[in-house]
Amino acid sequence: MEDTRTSLGARLKQARQEAQLKQEQAARYLRVTPSAISGIESGQRKVDALELFYLSKLYNKPLDWFFAPQQDLNTNPNSPWFDQDPLIREILFLLEKASPDLRRRAAYGVLGFLSDR
């Protein structure tokens, strides 16, 4: 259990740094103290589900990114291309839950974006 908390904290710190945010900024966003963010990142403090959800949005990372083993975040040559990126996996998951009309509009948006390249 402690190992999971420590690795989750390390991933949260990595995500915060990749987002180029300071602990103080994340703390303000969550309405907690900077020492709470420090405790979460060091594995000394538990992070609740809502905090993790909000941090994933702030850091622009899908939730599964925080739990995937490091090697899963890189490319696994045996996985299909769309399974190699947590963001693509989350998009496909959300598209699957969307209405047919929304899926179609999203598809036209992606086609338009890709055809402009």
Task: Give the Å distances, CA to CA, from 55 to 52, 67, 69.
Answer: 5, 14, 19
Residue predicted with more confidence, 96 or 24: 24
Q: Give the per-residue pLDDT at 117.
A: 63
Q: What is the pTM of this model?
A: 0.60
Q: Give the per-residue pLDDT at 90.
A: 76
Most confident of 31-40, 61-70, 83-92, 97-106: 31-40
Q: Which residues contact 98 (CB under 8 A, 6 or more apart)?
A: 106
DSSP three-state, residue 30: helix
Q: Give the per-residue pLDDT at 79.
A: 66
Q: Which of 37, 5, 39 has its CA nearest to residue 22?
A: 37
State the pLDDT confidence band at 76, using cuts at 50, 70 and 90: low
